[in-house]
């Protein structure tokens, strides 16, 4: 798909800003921001300055449609150049509701019998798509040396809970059943996701353990949503200003799990599951300037207390959604590369 000319111009402006000497970037971004004992990365301040100038937000005033358009638009600005060494093909996953769209990413030089990551994109269960996270999937495939099966699950509010969860469960079942056809080793299947995708991935793993079927050998959770039943201190510290706001999360939650759904249900809030024993080794990252920070770290602690091997990584100087910004600056890619390295060590070539 060709990129519209105005978008190419704006992307060039963003890249040019990040190419400036550090002093000029600091002058553009403004005084260093410190909150809750953390200093925001200059790379993050620059992208926030652009977002404030353009008045872009995670939720557009026009509602669902414009919000989805905004996320698709943003990937052209901050996703970076396409990693062409990763081969891509569309995959249809059969299920009761009709064929589920997915996309298989295979990095160059990775042969048959590789590890496979079932990847679930973020976007508050409402926005995001295979396209919006194409650059993230390519990055994880290339750096992690694994195949990546990215899942195009149904979105709210047209398809509220549990539709998206059912789709991710179907995708995981498909990955195990068709691993050889996908070029993967069924003993080296991982699952992961970012934000709301991390929520769906975490719940899917819990459900897999409870069902007694095959369970992924690793989970990769980037700044996941883990508890919609309450708000912790990070919601207060970062309620606004840092792209994802506390009000944004309320808007997403109201569309994904509207009343009278019980948000203490562990299928919505995986942190509240009674038993977390038996879950696979986990890499879980949080962003310091993120309303979701504290609930993500609470989930890591709960996993540890249940005997799960967890590596918790707080990217204290970054904002929510940092994996989507890997095409600008260096700090976003650096943080995402850490996650990819954990994936490589767990199931990669």
Q: Which position has the token pair 């149904």?
A: 154
Cα distance from N-terminal residue to C-terminal residue, the chain: 31
**Which residues does residue 15 pair with via DSSP β-bridges, in sequence order?**
none
Q: Which position has the token pair 């562990």?
A: 266
**Which residues does residue 147 pair with via DSSP β-bridges, in sequence order?**
116
Of the residues 43, 134, 290, 317, which is catalytic?
290
Query: Residues near 206 by Cβ (< 8 Å), separated by ≥ 6?
Result: 266, 270, 273, 276, 279
Give me 317's structure tokens. Answer: 């100087």
The angle subtended at Cα 180 by Cα 176 and Cα 182, nearest 5°, is 85
How far apart are the C-alpha atoms of 28 and 11, rounded to whole Å?
Answer: 17
Give me 252's structure tokens. Answer: 């997403």
How far apart are the C-alpha atoms of 311 and 285, rounded to whole Å?
Answer: 8
Is 290 an annotated catalytic residue? yes
Work out the number of other CB atoms within 10 angstroms of the CB of residue 14: 18
Is 265 an annotated catalytic residue? no
Backbone φ, ψ for residue 191 (5° rounding): -135, 150
Of the residues 129, 195, 234, 285, which is catalytic?
195
Maximum Cα interatomic distance, the chain, rounded to a whole number of Å = 57
Is 320 an annotated catalytic residue? yes
The angle subtended at Cα 164 by Cα 159 and Cα 167, nearest 5°, is 120
Residues identified as active-site: 195, 290, 320
């Amino acid at each position: 798909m060709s990129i519209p000319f105005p978008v190419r111009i704006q992307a060039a402006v963003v890249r040019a800003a990040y190419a400036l000497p550090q002093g000029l970037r600091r002058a553009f971004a403004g005084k260093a921001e410190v909150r809750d004992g953390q200093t925001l990365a200059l790379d993050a301040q620059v992208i926030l300055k652009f977002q404030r100038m353009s008045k872009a937000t995670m939720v557009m005033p026009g509602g669902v449609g414009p919000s989805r358009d905004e996320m698709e638009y943003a990937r052209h600005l901050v996703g970076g150049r396409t990693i062409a060494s990763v081969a891509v093909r569309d995959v249809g996953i059969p299920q009761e509701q009709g064929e589920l769209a997915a996309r298989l990413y295979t990095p160059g030089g990775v042969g048959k019998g590789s590890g496979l990551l079932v990847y679930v994109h973020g976007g508050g269960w409402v926005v995001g798509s295979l396209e919006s996270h194409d650059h993230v999937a390519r990055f994880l495939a290339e750096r992690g040396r694994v195949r990546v099966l990215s899942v195009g699950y149904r979105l709210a509010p047209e398809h509220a809970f549990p539709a998206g969860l059912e789709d991710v469960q179907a995708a995981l079942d498909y990955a195990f059943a068709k691993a050889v056809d996908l070029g993967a080793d069924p003993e080296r299947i991982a699952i992961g996701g970012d934000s709301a995708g991390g929520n769906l991935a975490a719940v899917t793993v819990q459900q897999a353990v409870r069902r007694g079927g095959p369970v992924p050998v690793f989970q990769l959770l980037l700044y996941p949503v883990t508890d919609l039943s309450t708000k912790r201190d990070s919601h207060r510290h970062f309620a606004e200003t840092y792209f994802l706001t506390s009000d944004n999360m309320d808007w997403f939650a109201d569309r994904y799990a509207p009343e009278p759904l019980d948000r203490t249900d562990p299928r919505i809030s995986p942190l509240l599951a009674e038993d977390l024993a038996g879950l696979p080794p986990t890499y879980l990252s949080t962003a310091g300037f993120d309303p979701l920070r504290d609930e993500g770290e609470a989930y890591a602690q709960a996993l540890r207390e249940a005997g799960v091997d967890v590596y918790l990584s707080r990217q204290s100087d970054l904002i929510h959604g940092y994996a989507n910004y890997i095409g600008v600056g260096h700090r976003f890619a650096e943080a995402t590369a850490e996650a990819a390295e954990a994936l490589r060590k767990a199931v990669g070539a």
